[in-house]
């Protein structure tokens, strides 16, 4: 078991990483709330797998439980679903002393967190992430929100959970494609902060190696978000591979590479750019490619340099005139590297 404390800009909270901790959610939640009601929010896939066990445990501990299930998938991450959730919470009499439980992947976590930030101007929530991506990334750091027709994650709030309970055993039911998707982000953490993680990635991680990897990713994310809770500086390094990865996803209308696959290919392109600029140690790109290939992740973007440039410039994270590229000095160390927009364009043409 690993317990990682996060200071949080609003309140401190603990992140527990332990195989089997899902069975003790009620025990962990009990001291965190004064009320007796818990609303569990989950999607239509996760509900059948894990909601029954969670509700039974909470009820045995004396909580009155309510279950809100929405159709699985990113297309549910909307204000419309949030509206339905507000109605559900209100009809069931949830108050500010009660608790929300996000049981699911990043879609569930982002939406539950947003409802929790806004319903009654704030009610506590617990994250119980069930995908590799949500265990290593979205459940920590307090970013919550929804998609709109004009942009992904366009509306949201910073609002930290009161606890995060990560049980790697829940990943045994996760379809292979989603596991590999999360591995893209795991490899990103190794690339930006912790080269030694590569030893745990020599083969597909499971059991203790998987638990150790998750703990290391969470520790990195905690360190970065504690230093930059509201995403105005250092937190940018978590976007390594994302500028081009997002462009790739957008150009394929989010129906080509998964997010983790797009980030994988984006990291390789960023490593090539870094080597060309002399910022990144020679051989880093090749090291990254070997690691990604071992885990069935793609290493090339599928669109042209011109198309990717256009799409990347519309990315909300980029400022006009120059943009902040996240590059590696070497595998295990990221730097924020500002470059003029025109240079980025010609580098893309040279490196892709």
Which whole-number Å values give the CA distances from 320 to 150, 266, 326, 341, 344, in the listed order? 20, 21, 16, 8, 12
Residue 211 or 275: the one with the smaller Cβ distance to ligand NAD is 211
> Taking the complex as a whole, how short is the minimal distance between the CB of residue 189 and ligand NAD, in angstroms?
12
Q: Is 109 annotated as a binding residue?
A: yes
Cα dihedral sign, 209-140-324-350: positive
Structure tokens at 167: 């049980």
- In this structure, the strands spanning 125-129 and 64-70 are unpaired
> Taking the complex as a whole, how short is the minimal distance between the CB of residue 72 and ligand NAD, in angstroms?
4
Residue 15 or 351: the one with the smaller Cβ distance to ligand NAD is 15
Q: Is 185 annotated as a binding residue?
A: yes
> Taking the complex as a whole, how short is the minimal distance between the CB of residue 88 and ligand NAD, in angstroms?
19
Q: Is 110 annotated as a binding residue?
A: yes
> Taking the complex as a whole, how short is the minimal distance between the CB of residue 164 and ligand NAD, in angstroms?
12
Which whole-number Å values give the CA distances from 347 to 248, 305, 309, 320, in the listed order? 17, 9, 10, 17
Q: Is 144 annotated as a binding residue?
A: no
> Taking the complex as a whole, how short is the minimal distance between the CB of residue 144 and ligand NAD, in angstroms?
6
Q: Is 131 annotated as a binding residue?
A: yes
Q: Cβ of 32: how many Cβ atoms within 10 Å?
A: 15
Closest-CB residue for ligand NAD?
106
Q: Is 106 annotated as a binding residue?
A: yes
Residue 102 or 272: the one with the smaller Cβ distance to ligand NAD is 102
Q: Is 152 annotated as a binding residue?
A: yes
Q: Are 77 and 146 in contact (CB under 8 A)?
A: yes
Q: Are 6 and 14 in contact (CB under 8 A)?
A: yes
Dihedral angle computed from the Cα positions of residues 41, 262, 155 and 76, in that order, rounded to the nearest 10 degrees = -40
Of residues 299, 295, 268, the one with CA closest to residue 284:
268
> Taking the complex as a whole, how short is the minimal distance between the CB of residue 169 and ligand NAD, in angstroms?
9
Q: Which residues bind ligand NAD (CB under 6 A)?
A: 43, 45-46, 49, 72-74, 77, 104-108, 110, 130-131, 133-134, 137-138, 141, 143, 153, 170, 173-174, 178, 181
List residues forming the annotated binding site for Zn(2+).
185, 242, 259
Which residues are known binding-site members? 106-110, 130-131, 143, 152, 185, 242, 259
Specify binding-site residues for NAD(+).
Answer: 106-110, 130-131, 143, 152
């Amino acid at each position: 078991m690993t317990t990682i404390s996060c200071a949080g800009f609003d309140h401190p909270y603990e992140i527990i990483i332990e195989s089997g901790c899902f069975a003790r959610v009620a025990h962990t939640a009990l001291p965190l709330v004064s009320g007796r009601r818990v609303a569990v929010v989950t999607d239509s896939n996760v509900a059948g797998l894990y909601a029954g066990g969670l509700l039974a445990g909470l009820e045995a501990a004396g909580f009155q439980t309510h279950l809100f299930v929405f159709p699985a998938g990113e297309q549910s991450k909307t204000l419309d679903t949030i509206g339905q959730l507000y109605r559900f919470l209100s009809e069931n009499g949830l108050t500010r002393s009660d608790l929300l439980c996000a049981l699911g992947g990043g879609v569930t976590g982002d939406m539950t967190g947003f409802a929790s930030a806004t319903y009654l101007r704030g009610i506590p929530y617990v994250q119980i992430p069930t995908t590799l991506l949500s265990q290593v990334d979205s459940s920590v750091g307090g970013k919550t929100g929804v998609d709109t027709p004009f942009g992904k994650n366009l509306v949201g709030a910073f609002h930290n959970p009161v606890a995060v309970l990560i049980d790697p055993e829940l990943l045994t039911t996760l379809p292979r494609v989603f596991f590999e998707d999360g591995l893209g982000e795991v490899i990103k953490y190794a690339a930006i902060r912790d080269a030694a993680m590569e030893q745990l990635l020599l083969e597909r991680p499971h059991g203790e190696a998987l638990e150790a990897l998750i703990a290391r990713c969470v520790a990195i994310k905690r360190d970065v978000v504690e230093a930059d809770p509201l995403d105005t500086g250092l937190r940018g390094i978590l976007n390594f591979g994302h500028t081009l990865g997002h462009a790739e996803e957008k150009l394929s209308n989010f129906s080509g590479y998964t997010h983790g696959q797009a980030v994988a290919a984006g990291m390789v392109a960023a490593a090539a750019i870094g080597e060309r600029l002399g910022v990144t140690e020679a051989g880093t790109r090749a090291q990254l490619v070997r690691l990604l290939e071992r885990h069935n992740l793609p290493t090339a973007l599928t669109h042209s340099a011109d198309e990717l440039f256009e799409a990347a410039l519309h990315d909300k994270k980029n400022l006009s005139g120059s943009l902040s590229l996240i590059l590696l000095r070497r595998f295990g160390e990221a730097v924020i590297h500002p470059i003029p927009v025109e240079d980025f364009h010609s580098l893309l043409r040279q490196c892709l």
